[in-house]
């Protein structure tokens, strides 16, 4: 379902569809959910005295992904604050 567009006078309002809202919530929280699941699995592996090599590698990957996400958000915020329009960013 595409974004809902409402025009009134000279003003155009873009309203996210329910699907877009749901996708945004999932996108915004997915990394935290994966990190939480990883932490729980690590506790189980520790309790069962299983090898931790894969868990440590995954933790490093998650750190890198989170750093990249933080940098992306910083760049987006900087672009928004500088007044660059969406069409200029694309």
Q: 17-52 pLDDT, tens per residue? A: 888 888 888 888 888 899 899 999 999 999 999 998
Task: Give phi and psi for 33, each to the nearest 5.
Answer: -65, -40
**Which residues, in sequence order, are CB contacts of 26 under 8 Å at separation 6+?**
none
Q: What is the 3-state secondary structure (H, E, C) of 29-60?
A: HHHHHHHHHHHHHHHHHHHCCCCCHHHHHHHH
**Is 64 a residue whose pLDDT tops 70?**
yes
pTM (whole model) above 0.75: no
């Amino acid at each position: 379902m595409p974004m809902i567009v409402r025009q009134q006078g000279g003003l155009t309002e873009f309203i996210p569809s329910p699907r877009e809202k749901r996708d945004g919530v999932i996108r915004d929280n997915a990394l935290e959910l994966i990190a939480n699941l990883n932490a729980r699995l690590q506790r189980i592996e520790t309790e069962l005295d299983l090898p931790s090599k894969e868990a440590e590698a995954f933790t490093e990957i998650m750190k890198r992904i989170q750093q990249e996400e933080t940098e992306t958000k910083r760049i987006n915020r900087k672009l928004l604050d500088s007044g660059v329009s969406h069409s200029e960013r694309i």
